[in-house]
Amino acid sequence: MRWLLLILIVFLAGCVTEKTEDQVVKGDIYFFFSPNCPHCKNVEPYVINASKKVEINFCQVENLTDTCKEIAEKIKLRGVPTAVVVEKDKVYVYSGETKVKNLMLEIMK
């Protein structure tokens, strides 16, 4: 039974993870934010600049689209700002001001 649990944990860790900054971003990008969040406001200029280079789906937590809701449930969204990159069978989650900012800076390179 312990082996089964260990295999399940390893599998789930591979499904929702975080990319290193050196990896190129390919896939659908979702930015979860709230207009009342000061940390979201701090990263907003970076997200807007990155959105000029790649398509970014803006997901306001107070008014989520069905797709954004689906992704929020899949990653068990706990707070904002959060950026999510969906590539084929992998999901990469960047939570918090610093991680989102670093992702956007990587996109802008």
Instruction: Enumerate domains of the chain plus CATH numbers.
Output: 2-108 (3.40.30.10)
Name the average pLDDT for the chain: 85
Strand, helix or coil for residue 30: strand
| pLDDT bracket for residue 26 (50, 70, 90) | confident
| Distances, alpha carbon 78 to alpha carbons 33, 48, 61, 108, in Å | 11, 23, 11, 26
Q: What is the pLDDT of residues 51-92, one digit of tens each?
A: 999 999 999 999 999 999 999 999 999 999 999 999 988 999
What would the pLDDT profile of 4-15 be if each residue is shown by its tens digit? 444 434 444 444
Query: Is pLDDT at 23 greater than 50 in this prediction?
Result: no
